[in-house]
Amino acid sequence: MASVDELIDAIDNGDELTAQELIEQQPALAIGESLREGVLRGATPLHWAAHRNMTNLCEQLVQSGADANARRAQWWRTPLAWAADAGCADAVELLLRDGADVNGDAFGMTTALHAAAQGGSTSGQENSDGYRRAALLLITHGVDINRRATGDHDQTALDDAIRKGNEAVIEVLVEHGGKTTAELRLANQ
């Protein structure tokens, strides 16, 4: 019997065929979560498949009972946020179609749009088209474009994109009415 973490390892290593076979053999793996310590604890196979843009696997996981709105991961809580964080627009589109909550709390009241705005580990410099498309999909599906994160972060997605220098997402946000926290504060005075 394989474990959820073995399935996640196959996904993380890009071995989609092994991952699909594991799910076919043990469909219950689709609803499991990682028990590893650290920020990835609680992540599901769907989080990982979305972050790797493995859309066929995402679909198989959802059909096997995976929750498109799972929020147990410690880092970017939702699969939608994981896909947006990696600029995986195809996975973003699939998850939205499968019922992912576009305004679901990704972390500290952020949305997946904040994740796209931050642009992952490359600040959106690599795969800029993926980040642009992900942001546009989230906006067209009704994300709260000016939601401010809570706590010390207290920033909108536009603040995040500016801070990270994610030009592709800055452009999309400005075109669709995105504001900085400072602009929102001025408007409320």
Most confident of 44-58, 72-86, 108-122: 44-58
How far apart (Å, rounded) are the C-alpha atoms in residues 60 and 24? 9
Map out the domains of the chain as residue ranges.
1-75, 84-189
| pLDDT, tens only, 150-168 | 866 789 999 999 999 999 9
Q: What is the pLDDT of residue 152?
A: 63
The yes/no answer on whether domain 84-189 falls in CATH 1.25.40.20 is yes
What pLDDT score does 119 carry? Answer: 93
Query: Is the pLDDT confidence value at 48 over 80?
Result: yes
What whole-number percentage of the chain has pLDDT above 70?
Answer: 98
pLDDT for 10: 97
Fold of 1-75: 1.25.40
**Band of pLDDT at residue 37, cut at 50, 70 and 90:** confident
Contact 137, 93 (CB under 8 A): yes
Going by pLDDT thresholds of 50, 70 and 90, the confidence category of residue 35 is confident
Residue 24, pLDDT score = 97
- With 80 as the cut, is the pLDDT of residue 72 above it? no
Q: How far apart are the first and last CA of the chain?
A: 60
Distance CA 34, CA 13 (A): 16
Residue 96 has pLDDT above 90, yes or no: yes
